[in-house]
Amino acid sequence: MEIWTFIFLSWVVLNLSVSILIVRRADLDSFQKAAQIAIVWIIPVIAAIGLWLFHRSNDDSNPGGGPIGGGPNDSIAVHVGGD
């Protein structure tokens, strides 16, 4: 019985934390918030983790990567410059 209590409490804490995360989002309108919270509680663990990962990736501030090509390369012994 103790393991089921732990599983149930973990499930409730996970769903509540993701629901609070969704409610506090400024980029969602009220319908989107309500729909996502309903999905979290209807499909408990998978939806909660999936929506948390989705919103976390939207908040990622990493620029992605550098420019393609790498810029001038000094290792080929060619002078690139105007002096």
**First-to-last C-alpha distance (Å) of the chain:** 80
Question: Predicted confidence band at 44 (pLDDT cuts at 50, 70, 90)?
Answer: confident
Per-residue model confidence as pLDDT tens digits over 33-43:
999 999 888 88
77, part of any domain: no
14, part of any domain: yes
- How far apart, in whole angstroms, are the C-alpha atoms of residue 61 and residue 52? 16
Domain count across the chain: 1
Mean pLDDT of 45-56: 82
Domain containing 25 equals: 2-58
pTM: 0.59
19, part of any domain: yes
35, part of any domain: yes
- Residue 15 near residue 48, CB atoms below 8 Å: yes
Q: For residue 3, is pLDDT > 90?
A: yes
